[in-house]
Structure 1
């Protein structure tokens, strides 16, 4: 029995299919809706604009070596960030980012684990020990190296 060998292009094509599937999950759908609600929220938009201005000031004060002014601006930045984080839709958006990242990590881990397991199995290895067949064969007592 011969195993089909795949090309990089075929694998990338399958990856695009998986990406399409992920992009059409509840997690990503919720992420998009939450982002849209944030962009429509006047209060959040104003806070973000204020944050950007403060961040520019911080960069300028840092560049000029004005430590006291920098510290004051950094405190203001932290306060505005807290105010933004208190908005429920922002909390939901951040949670949706975590959910999407967890889904991506789950897929990545599933691929990595299955590739490893398949290598071990197709070489006649030991899944429980996580060793390929060549390692198992070469670790047997009395084997010649």
Structure 2
């Protein structure tokens, strides 16, 4: 008989996997890129301007000043584009995509593996995605 795991044991394994992910090349690159962005005076100034404009936008929105809001939104978009043009920012955003992709891959692998194990353990058909009880119920239909 196979071992039955507790929720606590599964959480412990999940923490191990999280530790492994946190120590991958993708995450290391993400951390280095973030540090370089924080050290980049030009980017820091643009981010500061962006935050200030976003605060103004919220205020204009609250006071229903549509024209002023539209102007501020244009400035926000321009600064956002300038920030996005900085190579390290592009690399940082790509590293976010890479890390998220890795997390999604792990999540999908777990979900698919659990489903396959359930199907296999019930004598089902993995290719059709049917558990054993579904396969058996379709084979034993009463004749009418």
Common topology (TM > 0.5): yes
* Residue ranges of structure 1 left out of the alignment (5+ in a row): none
Whole-angstrom distance in 2 between the partners of 1:143 and 1:127: 25
Asked if structure 2 preserves the Cα contact closer than 8 Å seen for 1:137 and 1:143, the reply is: no
Question: Which residue of structure 2 lines up, in the alignment, with residue 18 of structure 1?
Answer: 17
Asked if structure 2 preserves the Cα contact closer than 8 Å seen for 1:120 and 1:127, the reply is: yes
5 Å-filtered alignment, 1:1-145, equals: 2-143=1-142
Q: TM-score, normalised by structure 2?
A: 0.97
Asked if structure 2 preserves the Cα contact closer than 8 Å seen for 1:120 and 1:132, the reply is: yes
Runs of 4+ in 1 over 2 A off after TM superposition: 141-144
- What value does the CA root-mean-square deviation take over the aligned residues? 1.0
- 1:140 CA displacement: 1.2
Asked if structure 2 preserves the Cα contact closer than 8 Å seen for 1:58 and 1:74, the reply is: yes
* Residue ranges of structure 2 left out of the alignment (5+ in a row): none
Whole-angstrom distance in 1 between the partners of 2:33 and 2:59: 33
Whole-angstrom distance in 2 between the partners of 1:25 and 1:128: 33
Asked if structure 2 preserves the Cα contact closer than 8 Å seen for 1:34 and 1:93, the reply is: yes
- 1:142 CA displacement: 2.9
Whole-angstrom distance in 2 between the partners of 1:72 and 1:33: 35
Q: Which moved more, 1:75-84 or 1:133-142?
A: 133-142
Count residues in correspondence: 143
Whole-angstrom distance in 1 between the partners of 2:40 and 2:131: 55
Q: TM-score, normalised by structure 1?
A: 0.97
Whole-angstrom distance in 1 between the partners of 2:138 and 2:42: 66
CA deviation string 1:80-118 (max 9, x = no partner): 000000000000000000000000000000000000000
**Distance change (3 Å), C-alpha of 1:103 and 1:73:** same
